[in-house]
Structure 1
């Protein structure tokens, strides 16, 4: 739009334009006119072939010259100094540029000079200090080693950036003359020290020396920088700070994190009355002076990973503004009682302090404390005063292996929302736990000695997440049913847990119930009252299966029954089910029957509201694939013809598509999950319908796996049903190999275990027309019987041969589907009650 406006009056006369972007336009303008007074902007960014700029004397009014990314540019014409109105000169990423002409000093209006990423630029011109209007000088990622003393004459300079100039070793003595300088960035340079004149930078607000691994000493007169607000010394070789640091009356941030040689904080450091954040993380500091208590504005103090820090100062409690105190992974053993005087403290972190044994009695006075992190400490108990922490929302004692007893008065923490006691030595909880009226999450997982949940625990009306994984608990009190807000209840790996409470069905909000690897034998009948339950995990409950799943669980989406004894039992599954995990299944007969019924009944029960892909199964090939898919196309794509008038057959329910795949492990890829995609394509007579599905799978499986989908007829738009003559399924994914794939139509009559059939799949590849059965026999894709084709792609019950439903082809060439009632039913229907599972993913 801007180009059009510029060119509107003189479309063919670039010498009349105020802005030029194209090298050809510039050449034309220079050829046709020696006077380019109208020209204000030249932008030749990324002109990779530009080697040298032509003479500038014909452009007296040029204001902006942009040459970014001109990687072949080797120099700038000396006449550049004649452009008295130039305010912006950008030479960023001019890789071959080594220097600038001295005439650059005559640019009296220049405000911004950008030379960043000019990797061969080695020397700033001596007369560069004459640019009296220069406000911003960017020399990042250049090869510059020093600056001329004249740099001090840049009286208007506000920002000087030399970060990542790895060869820059010395800041000029006269650099302190830049009275307007506000930002000085020397990050990751080779600088060792700063001249005393740095203290004369009376306007300096931000000084960044982070990553200067050779920088050892901060200048004594650095305390004179009265405007300095942020001093970043991270990862330097500095050992201490001069007492004059206390004179930095405007300093708000002091960052010394990662200074592994820094051992002592100055006594007069407490004079920095404006200091808000002090970061001493991962330093060699052993203690803090009492004067630290005088930091009246300090809000954040970070001493985490200071492995030698042993004692918090008694007067540290005087920091009335302190909100965040990080003592993570220090050698601290206790805290002074004065810690209770930190009236503004919001968050206290003591995790990984392996020597910390006792929380102070007066710690309960911290009325504003919201988070207390004591993970991986040696603490054994908490004082009763912990109950006085009226604002506490999170208390984390996870992995405190010596912690045995939760205080009786802990129930007084009325604001507590999260209580984590994972992997502690706790055996029980006091009845007062029920008084935690705001508690939303309680984690007792891996508390191997925890045996009994308190009767009054049911009073926690806000509790949403209760994790009892791998505890010694044997049962739950009936009051558990009173947890009206509970959404997640996890009891997995509780090997002694035998009985689910009768009133457990009262938990109206429960959406996830995990009983994996417990000793439970049955579930109460009122489990059917859990109307909001979405996930029921029963895997590894080897003694469980007694008519336990009710179709009244109307929102159940995922069911884990892996390693359950289910042979010969009755399954009644709700129509909402999306995924069944029955891996590993020890019985091929159970597997085939369950998978068959999942497919067939989901397709039969599909309604207008369920127009979508549904997963049928993800199983190891070693668990019966040869009996399921007798014929497959090798590779990742299969195409076949559709029977004539397939869309009019009321028995037609939908499609089943499948593939055999293996994950390809690689050391360069460590994601736990990848995604397998399938595209279904119906086409013919110039019409086409496509749909896609994506399934996430675990990379842990190294064996061949089989993936099976159901796709309902009702999901296919009706308007072009009669046009489609072929169906194609293709599979693809990153880091997996597709070995085989197949496709089939499912008809309602197949319920009698007649084998579903489809035309022979075809593949456009040279070898794709060959179909291979599981016995290794190869069959031609166009192999015909005398009157009809008998192509078999997917057999869910292990029925093989030329039985069941067939496709007939008459003399007129029309194909019709019929049932041969004279053919025997080879396999009886399994002893499972029908699975009303309309969107089932079966993992076996």
Structure 2
């Protein structure tokens, strides 16, 4: 800018403009100014420096980086400093540093080799990074005090060979590092490793030295590209948790897996493993095994009955055709999930202590010549299920079963019951302890028990069911003193004479094409939500003005409605 540009219209022509050079602030004063703004003190704290709030101040980061050598820090957090391109090499002089947090530093391109001089550091967290950040320094192996090393969602192509050298490291994570395809050997120096997370990496093979990790308790291989596990896996005698979920290329488990005597949890959901090894029976402490949506097929090994600690067994959406009778020997079994196991012909007798959940699946389509045989098999499965006297949650969705056994009423601990898409002629009496009840698509129904005896019922859903002429209102809903949530969906009755309990808080009436008028609602002082939808013949809704506070009312697609209810909160349409 020249002198003429600096002069405005009011400046006399004979005036002179003097140009002065501003003195540059030295680093010491700049650091003091920054500290006053960031920390309300003359200098940064000497032991704990958190710059996570300074992500958009590159000048401040440059100043701090050049002055690291004068700080006796123990904790340094640069979290979410998106403008940070590199960590100053002087970081190697922070001999007291124990914690380094670089999470969310998406612009970071280089981690200097001087990091390996941090003799006291025990935690390093690195999350994200620039796409040019493709490698870690080999000096990582010099971190003798390192306990936790977490590198997540980084672009590194290969971890350094020295990554397994730190002797004290307990947790190592390379999660979401998609470009890593090979894990270096894990030498004896990593004997202290307790947790190894390789989830969502591109790793295709694990080294045999994996078996040297004698103290490893948790191994996460979620969504990896591994095709097989090494036999040395069986040497991990301290392993407690093994998660292989979503590793869709994994096709076989090694027989040595039976040597994992401390293993408590295995997860192999959506893997391509077709068979469980018979050695599974030697894992005496196994409590939970999940294999949902896997390629398991054929017979489940009888040795599974030797797992006395097994509490949860999930085999839903698999191709298994037979569960062994030895499953009745699992005294601790609480949950058995077999949803959509279409090839499963029958269910063996289950231990009576099973209490949590048993869901049986809809069988695959059958031709008429096999219908009777299939109905017999399904009925047998239902009969055996009634041995579960401590069952709390039950959802039945089975075709070709027209009745439930009388023992149904002995499920005295049942809290949640759903009957879905059945051709039942009648339903036996239901446990009075029930809290939630759903009748959905009971097409062939003739008679339902009066639910007025369910004094503890809180929620009742009645959807697309066929009833006797008395219909929905014959069930005694108005006598359930604790009912809070009621849904009537696609009911064919007119709801005449239906009484509602004073405890009701939520009422849904949807698709009831024969309903012309809703029952009286003036006594529902606790009503908070009223939703009316697709009731084409509905002409009148009772007045709601007396309800305080007024409920939230939603009305849609009720074409014949002529009289709208009065309400202080208005109506959503």
Question: Structure 1 length as normaliser, TM-score?
Answer: 0.55
The DSSP-based 3-state class of the residue aligned with 1:155 is coil
Return the offset for 1:237. Answer: 0.9
Aligned 8 A contact 2:266 2:290 in 1: yes
The DSSP-based 3-state class of the residue aligned with 2:394 is strand
Q: Is 1:257 matched with 2:222?
A: yes
Corresponding residue for residue 356 of structure 2: 393
Corresponding residue for residue 523 of structure 2: 576
Residues 78-157 of structure 1 aligned to structure 2 (within 5 Å): 86-92=46-52, 93-97=55-59, 104=67, 106-107=69-70, 109-140=72-103, 141-157=105-121
Aligned 8 A contact 2:229 2:253 in 1: yes
Distance 2:343 2:237 in 1: 35
Distance 2:269 2:494 in 1: 49
Corresponding residue for residue 241 of structure 2: 277
Q: Is 1:563 matched with 2:513?
A: yes
**Is the alpha carbon distance of 1:125 and 1:361 closer, same or farther for their aligned partners in structure 2, counting shifts above 3 Å?**
same
**Is the alpha carbon distance of 1:494 and 1:161 closer, same or farther for their aligned partners in structure 2, counting shifts above 3 Å?**
closer
Task: Work out which of the residue numbers 424, 431, 446 in structure 2 matches 1:475.
Answer: 446
Aligned 8 A contact 1:124 1:147 in 2: yes
**Is the alpha carbon distance of 1:298 and 1:556 closer, same or farther for their aligned partners in structure 2, counting shifts above 3 Å?**
closer
Q: Deviations over 1:394-435 (max 9, x none)?
A: 101244547722343432212111121125443322222233
**Is the alpha carbon distance of 1:657 and 1:249 closer, same or farther for their aligned partners in structure 2, counting shifts above 3 Å?**
same
Q: Is 1:195 matched with 2:160?
A: yes
**Is the alpha carbon distance of 1:580 and 1:366 closer, same or farther for their aligned partners in structure 2, counting shifts above 3 Å?**
closer
Q: Deviations over 1:616-653 (max 9, x none)?
A: 8946696466xx79xxxxxxxxxxxxxxxxxxxxxxxx
Q: Deviations over 1:270-322 (max 9, x none)?
A: 2212222111111111111121112122221110011x211111111222222
Distance 1:437 1:297 in 2: 36
Return the offset for 1:150. Answer: 3.1
Return the offset for 1:227. Answer: 1.6
Return the offset for 1:542. Answer: 5.3
The DSSP-based 3-state class of the residue aligned with 2:215 is coil
Residues 393-432 of structure 1 aligned to structure 2 (within 5 Å): 393-401=356-364, 404-405=378-379, 406-432=381-407
Corresponding residue for residue 450 of structure 1: 424
The DSSP-based 3-state class of the residue aligned with 1:291 is helix
The DSSP-based 3-state class of the residue aligned with 1:269 is helix
Task: Work out which of the residue numbers 468, 479, 486 in structure 2 matches 1:498.
Answer: 468
Corresponding residue for residue 144 of structure 2: 179
The DSSP-based 3-state class of the residue aligned with 2:358 is strand
Distance 2:214 2:533 in 1: 68
Return the offset for 1:451. Answer: 2.9
Distance 2:468 2:177 in 1: 62
Aligned 8 A contact 2:72 2:94 in 1: yes
Q: Is 1:350 matched with 2:315?
A: yes
Aligned 8 A contact 2:458 2:485 in 1: no
Task: Work out which of the residue numbers 166, 177, 189 in structure 2 matches 1:212.
Answer: 177
Aligned 8 A contact 1:563 1:582 in 2: no
Unaligned ranges ≥5, structure 2: 1-22, 366-376
**Is the alpha carbon distance of 1:286 and 1:572 closer, same or farther for their aligned partners in structure 2, counting shifts above 3 Å?**
closer
Distance 1:408 1:537 in 2: 30
Distance 2:290 2:210 in 1: 23
Distance 2:461 2:172 in 1: 52
Q: Is 1:548 matched with 2:548?
A: no
The DSSP-based 3-state class of the residue aligned with 1:121 is coil
Corresponding residue for residue 415 of structure 2: 440
Q: Is 1:326 matched with 2:297?
A: no
CA RMSD of aligned residues (A): 4.0
Q: Deviations over 1:314-360 (max 9, x none)?
A: 1112222222211011110132111111211221111222x222222
Corresponding residue for residue 761 of structure 1: none
Q: Is 1:234 matched with 2:191?
A: no
**Is the alpha carbon distance of 1:160 and 1:342 closer, same or farther for their aligned partners in structure 2, counting shifts above 3 Å?**
same
Name the larger-Rg structure.
1
Aligned 8 A contact 1:264 1:285 in 2: yes
**Is the alpha carbon distance of 1:85 and 1:321 closer, same or farther for their aligned partners in structure 2, counting shifts above 3 Å?**
same
Q: Which moved more, 1:616-625 or 1:197-206?
A: 616-625
Return the offset for 1:53. Answer: 6.5
Q: Deviations over 1:767-807 (max 9, x none)?
A: xxxxxxxxxxxxxxxxxxxxxxxxxxxxxxxxxxxxxxxxx
Corresponding residue for residue 613 of structure 1: 550
Q: Deviations over 1:78-115 (max 9, x none)?
A: xx9xx999334444415425756996464362323333
Aligned 8 A contact 1:116 1:142 in 2: no
Corresponding residue for residue 208 of structure 2: 243
Distance 1:117 1:542 in 2: 59
How many residue pairs get matched? 524
Q: Deviations over 1:464-492 (max 9, x none)?
A: 44433212343226687765655555553
Task: Work out which of the residue numbers 320, 326, 334 in structure 2 matches 1:362.
Answer: 326
**Is the alpha carbon distance of 1:379 and 1:615 closer, same or farther for their aligned partners in structure 2, counting shifts above 3 Å?**
same
Q: Which moved more, 1:313-322 or 1:471-480?
A: 471-480
Higher relative contact order (CA 8 A, sep 6+): 1
The DSSP-based 3-state class of the residue aligned with 1:316 is helix
Distance 1:346 1:538 in 2: 37
Aligned 8 A contact 2:210 2:233 in 1: yes
The DSSP-based 3-state class of the residue aligned with 1:378 is coil
Return the offset for 1:55. Answer: 4.2
Q: Is 1:168 matched with 2:133?
A: yes
Question: Structure 2 length as normaliser, TM-score?
Answer: 0.78
**Is the alpha carbon distance of 1:100 and 1:212 closer, same or farther for their aligned partners in structure 2, counting shifts above 3 Å?**
farther
Return the offset for 1:572. Answer: 7.5
Return the offset for 1:69. Answer: 11
Distance 1:127 1:614 in 2: 65
Aligned 8 A contact 1:144 1:168 in 2: yes
The DSSP-based 3-state class of the residue aligned with 1:444 is strand
Distance 2:462 2:321 in 1: 30
Distance 1:383 1:657 in 2: 55
Distance 2:554 2:169 in 1: 66
Return the offset for 1:137. Answer: 2.5
Distance 1:554 1:245 in 2: 64
Q: Deviations over 1:733-780 (max 9, x none)?
A: xxxxxxxxxxxxxxxxxxxxxxxxxxxxxxxxxxxxxxxxxxxxxxxx
